[in-house]
Amino acid sequence: MGERVTVSVPQGAPLRADRVVADAVGLSRSYVQRLIEEGRVTEAGKRIKSKDVFAPGAALELDLPDRPTATIEAEDVPLTVVYEDADVLIVDKPAGLVTHPSPGRTGGTLVNALLGRAPASEYGGVAGADRPGIVHRLDRDTSGLIVVARNDPAQAALMAQLKARRVKKTYLALVYGATVAEVGRIEAPIGRDPRQFSRMAVLPGGRPSVTGYRVRERFPGWTLLEVDLMTGRTHQIRVHLASIGHPVAGDPVYATGAARRGPEGLTRLFLHSWRIEFAAVTGERLIRAEAPLPPELASVLDELRSPKH
């Protein structure tokens, strides 16, 4: 039967209709544009266009169609599980693997691989039928640890810990240049870049975001950081580090020039979810897991440590 959703344009500058709806309901902009073309988004009962601009406070009505069921298929994709108990799995996700399906993408994701390991009934369903077990996500180009819930109570408990900022997530990031401080903290709000929807940016009206970092190793022209993700905004680490002049090596979105190319041998974004710590669902102990750098990143550091550098 679908669902009728009212979306209000947030305070600030006037915004395009497709952007307002995509941000509000968490759908891709291209999918929202398709819904608008089908007449599923209206304002005061009248059809609109994606490029129409609306002032803050305007109300758009979205007729959201039912998502197809049983379209997420199990796929035989190897998974590296670094920890497992009755409530959770901790998976070491490779770079290039998307976390969960989205409109227009139903295959080749971590969820498909999870379903290849066990049926959906063996994962938590709190986050929706298309996100069995998913508690949080990693960007496609980021490797490393991601937690999966094996039942509803575990999924609800872990999502509550994330919301309360009680899950400690630490990343390894190679950044361009030499940071002045050995230890730092970045507090800067993040929102959608008004000039390019696919990017995020530090914006006065963005959501509060906090990132901590400390130097792990220095190289000529580069610094390896341990980064603590204290909030979980989209692209947060990449945006924050770029905002202080130290973009992540190999970042195709937020880095330019030598930073974007990265040091010799780098073929991907140098960002890895290295360590995660959270309370067990029973609350009786802490669960802590680590994932070593994958070979394609470890080899870059080996090269930087070589005598010629």
Annotated active-site positions, please? 139
CB 79 within 8 A of CB 114: yes
Other beta carbons within 10 angstroms of residue 309's beta carbon come to: 12
2: its two tokens? 């679908």
Number of other CB atoms surrounding residue 259 within 10 Å: 21
Residue found by looking up tokens 């990132």 in the block:
211
Q: Are 8 and 59 in contact (CB under 8 A)?
A: yes
Q: What is the spatial distance between Cα 273 and Cα 172, in angstroms, rounded to a whole number?
A: 7
Class of residue 247 by CB neighbours under 10 A (exposed 0-12, middle 13-18, buried 19+): buried
